[in-house]
Amino acid sequence: MSKETKKPFRQSMAEWRQFIYNPSSGEFLGRTAKSWGLILLFYLVFYGFLAALFTFTMWVMLQTLSSDIPKYRDRISSPGLMISPKPDTALEFYFNKSDAQSYAEYVSTLRKFLESYDDSKQTQNINCTPGRIFDQNDVAVKKACRFNLSELGQCSGKEDKTFGYSKGTPCVLVKVNRIIGLKPEGEPHIKCTPKEEGTVEINYFPPEGLIDLMYFPYYGKSLHAHYLQPLVAIQLAINSNSTKEEVAIECKILGSPNLKNEDDRDKFLGRIAFKVQMTE
């Protein structure tokens, strides 16, 4: 037994119409024009005040920050590794060494990436003492250390404009993420291993994949504008019997006790895995 009998459809439609616009009281959606004006004015003032308050507090907060270094760097205590070129789809390289089109993007990415390492761009950079942390804490103007493209040997793009892709020996650059103030200990170097032994031969430039300590520490974008992070190029010579299959390679940073490379959750902390499949 329902207490309120259902209203006929026409009546409820009429009520709705009445609610949307009531000609007798001039009410639109239950409020008169004046009432709407007042309420909108109120919210204009209210939200205006909140917006101003928000802006002000944000401004105050930003004033407490330094423009040179972030207040906290505890969320990135150890650098991640990354490669260039970076294929769009995950980290998987597919190319045909005899089809220039198939690797054109990799090559152009590499070229673009290495542009900033061009000698012409490094005129302000100085030659630092290899093998030593280049500490510039007391210096107001931080210098950047020169990274010679020739260090990358066959992967420098100077001799081979296709970075080995046309010959079936593709180059991949491995870089260590920039982290302000990071000072690696020991002798950090990149070591790459294929998942299956013997499927691929790997050449390192500079030799042994060495990362020179003189490129550390980094002082941040504004203080250290010309900083170039050290690179390690690896050239893959894929065995012809495994060309049909994907070759999985994992690179790790080794030799430095304060650079992590075995984190359970972060698969890119001091290491990187990628796949290459080359066809002929």
Binding site for another protein (CB under 8 A): 1, 3, 38-39, 42-43, 46-47, 50, 53-54, 57-58, 61-62, 65, 68-73, 75-76, 79-82, 86, 88-91, 175, 177-180, 218, 220-222, 224, 227, 263, 265-269, 272
Q: Supply the minimum distance, in Å, between the C-beta of residue 12 and another protein.
A: 16
Q: Supply the minimum distance, in Å, between the C-beta of residue 93 and another protein.
A: 13
Q: Which C-beta is closer to another protein: that of 61 or that of 141?
A: 61
Q: Which C-beta is closer to another protein: that of 43 or that of 159?
A: 43
Q: Which C-beta is closer to another protein: that of 80 or that of 194?
A: 80
Q: Supply the minimum distance, in Å, between the C-beta of residue 7 and another protein.
A: 14
Q: Supply the minimum distance, in Å, between the C-beta of residue 86 and another protein.
A: 7
Q: Which C-beta is closer to another protein: that of 94 or that of 268?
A: 268
267 exposure class (CB count in 10 Å sphere: 0-12, 13-18, 19+): exposed
Q: Which C-beta is closer to another protein: that of 159 or that of 263?
A: 263
Q: Supply the minimum distance, in Å, between the C-beta of residue 38 and another protein.
A: 6
* Rounded alpha-carbon distances, angstroms, from residue 43 to 36, 70, 93: 11, 37, 55
Q: Which residues of 1-13 are buried (b: 16+ CB within 10 A; e: fewer)?
A: eeeeeeeeeeeee
Q: Supply the minimum distance, in Å, between the C-beta of residue 56 and another protein.
A: 10
Q: Which C-beta is closer to another protein: that of 200 or that of 272?
A: 272
Rounded to an integer, what distance in angstroms lies between the CA atom of residue 170 and that of residue 254? 23
Phi/psi of residue 251, nearest 5 degrees: -110, 140
